[in-house]
Amino acid sequence: MSKRKHYDNEFNVQAVKLALEIGQRKACNELNLPENTIYGCRDTCQAR
């Protein structure tokens, strides 16, 4: 059973900024993240 990773707020903000600058797919590849993770980061940033 795998555990979910939790990223701190600073990581979420930086990931969303990167995705806005270079695009979602490229940001995910650069950060070695699944594409859906950026959506979660974006939602987390909007909620705060």
Q: Supply the pLDDT for residue 38.
A: 87
Residue 12 has a CB neighbour count (10 Å cut-off) of: 19
pLDDT tens string, the chain, 48 residues long: the values are 567 778 888 999 999 999 999 999 999 999 999 988 888 888 888 777
Cβ-based burial of 32 (10 A; exposed 0-12, middle 13-18, buried ≥19): exposed
Residue 13 belongs to a domain = yes
User: How many independent structural domains does the chain possess?
Assistant: 1
pLDDT at 22: 96
DSSP letter (8 states) at residue 48: -
- Domain residues for the domain of 15 are 9-47
Task: Specify if 26 maps to a domain.
Answer: yes
Domain presence at residue 34: yes
CB proximity list for 27: less than 8 A, separation 6 or greater? 15, 18, 19, 21, 33, 38
**Dihedrals phi, psi of 46, to nearest 5 degrees:** -70, -30
Q: Has residue 4 been placed in a domain?
A: no
